[in-house]
A and B are shown apart, each in its own frame.
Chain A
Amino acid sequence: MTYIIQTIVIYSLTYSIAVMGLSLVVGYAQIFVLSQAAIFGVGSFTYAVLAGRNITSDLLLVIPIAIVIGGVLSLVTGLPLLRLGGDYYIVASLAFQYVIVQGLVNWTSLSGGPPGLFAFPSPTILGWKIVSNMDFIYVIVPILAIALGSLLWIRRMPYGRALVAMADDEVALAAGGVRADALRVSVFVLAGILAAVAGVLFTSFLDVASPGDFGITESILMITMVLVGGARSLIGPFIGAVILASLPYWLNLVNWSVYMTGVITGVLLLLVAFFLPDGVAGLANSGLRQLSRSRNRASLTAADQGGGVDE
């Protein structure tokens, strides 16, 4: 693998982790969250501060700490979900996005202000230094696998069934003794935790943590990844992350400006909203279904005619 491909892989996988939980929030709780990048940033600064101050750069320590910080922060920002319905929460999450990022910018002693922090000791795992791109891939792939496995498990268990039911009918869910608001908050916290973990990976790889990287544009980019891939599919966010995280490289390849990323992201978001409500994963699914249906039809007609055509 060339260096550039490795970098694309690392980016895509990191963003996949960042938006996997978000897809459940968008797909089942049906809330648009515009503060995901802020939580991602908090994870990033968790690594920056811990490693930069030589406290620890062992991912086995940093990641759990980021999980706690990201989880608590998500819980605090998610509590309004107990009262606010989906549409109103968009505004609330926008406010949280600004408060968190501006908080980071202004807490100069911690975050280094607008330029942020850079040049940290290499991340380690039990003394093993993670240096090369391939090292990072070896670290990210198992983390992604654990995250995917957990989500797969959750989906199959009653909690996941309750999420589907919540999207169908919240009142009927309550009549069965299940609290829809508790489901919403918990799935929101799960999304935040995964974003924080991804933030740690992001900064430990890039060696930079700058508040400018976690603005509202990034939050919109993350929502777009979810929608392009397909919010309700397990693999959808992964597809979306691969397409959008690698976009700057493809643009570079055809000598377009990197600033076109924003334009293309916006256009993609519109196209998906109008034509692909279930995202790319949904498209693939219905394609497969169509294929099997036409095959079934073919075999049916063959049977009707008392035997098929010899091949």
Chain B
Amino acid sequence: MTPNDGVDVRDSGHDEPASGQVKTESPLIARGLFKRFGALEVVSGFHHELQAGVVTGLVGPNGAGKTTIFNLLSGALKPDSGSVWLANRDVTGTSLYLVSRLGLGRSFQDVRVFPTLNCVENCALYAQTVQGTSLVRTLIFPRSTRRHSFVARQTAREAVAFVGLEKAANSPAGALSYADQKLLAIARLLAIGAKTLLLDEPASGLDRRGVETLLGVIGRLRDEGRTILLIEHNLDVVRELCQKILFLDRGKILAEGPPGEVFARSELAELYFGA
């Protein structure tokens, strides 16, 4: 925990990337990320050290660059400048699959479960080791492949049970309700064994019961000591889950601190609610 618990409003000159390779406890560090699409600078100097074991909320109006930041952090996009450090390794712009193998789980706004595979298979694929999906190993070492597959399915079943989808374990993901698909998407990240989770609007499109289930699941993940960064528009969810929020506008952090204090600032509320 940093001692800085108050709201820290930054001016634009304050966002220079820290240099050097200092070992920190932070599982995920973004250093001065910039990303431009054509003439539009979507992310301009995003700089943050994610606090371990804490749920951090990334909030801000539409177009603030939240999902782009997720893409930069998860390796899906390469930043124009700046760097991303996952567990003290530079993973800047590597690739989604590599960052996932290094223990960063990332969910999508549009869920993206595999509709034709069932829940356990969805998770088992994420739990799979690199050897497990090698064609050569599958053909030459059938026994070891089957063992890998068995272990992955075991992990998958536990992940499915964690989010409470045991009853739907064997039905195709495409047949699940939207709320259950969202839970399955989180279960998949658990199956990776990810210690750090990036959740893109986990509560969007859910009714109250769905939101409550989701709050329970994410709360338990927090209690297990996982580090979570989530994008969310539902402020009730943010208040309930996040110990800390980053208020983002036009690609940079305007304010950070506990949700109560950040939302108490009238100019931010205006920005957000467009009052």
Contacts and interface: CB of A to CB of B under 8 A. Distances in A.
Query: Do A and B make up one complex?
Result: yes
Interface of A: 150, 153-154, 157-159, 161-162, 164-165, 167-169, 171-179, 183, 186-187, 189-190
A150 B135 CA distance: 11
Contacts of B221: none
B117 A159 contact: no
Contact of B130 (A150, A153, A177): A177
Nearest to A167: B116
Contact of B108 (A150, A175, A183): A175
Contacts, number: 101
Given A153-B138, A164-B114, 6 more contacts: A161-B125, A164-B117, A169-B112, A175-B96, A176-B100, A190-B135
A80 to B, nearest CB: 18
A186 B135 CA distance: 7
Contacts of B126: 175-177
Contact of B114 (A154, A165, A177): A165
A151 B157 CA distance: 26
Contacts of B225: none
Interface of B: 74, 76, 95-98, 100-101, 105-108, 112-117, 121-122, 124-126, 128, 130, 132-136, 138-139, 142, 145-146, 148-149, 152, 188, 192
Contacts of A159: 132-135, 138, 145
A171 B130 CA distance: 17
Contacts of A173: 114, 125
A176 B95 CA distance: 12
Contacts of B188: 176
Contacts of B130: 177
Nearest to A165: B114
Nearest to A169: B112
Contact of A177 (B97, B117, B135, B148): B97
Contacts of A189: 135
Given A157-B149, A175-B106, A168 B134 contact: no
A25 to B, nearest CB: 12
B133 A183 contact: yes
Contacts of B97: 174-179
A165 B135 CA distance: 15
Contacts of A179: 97
B117 A161 contact: yes
A175 B117 CA distance: 16
Contacts of A153: 138-139, 142
A15 B28 CA distance: 53
Contacts of B112: 169, 171-172, 175
Given A175-B106, A177-B192, A154 B135 contact: yes
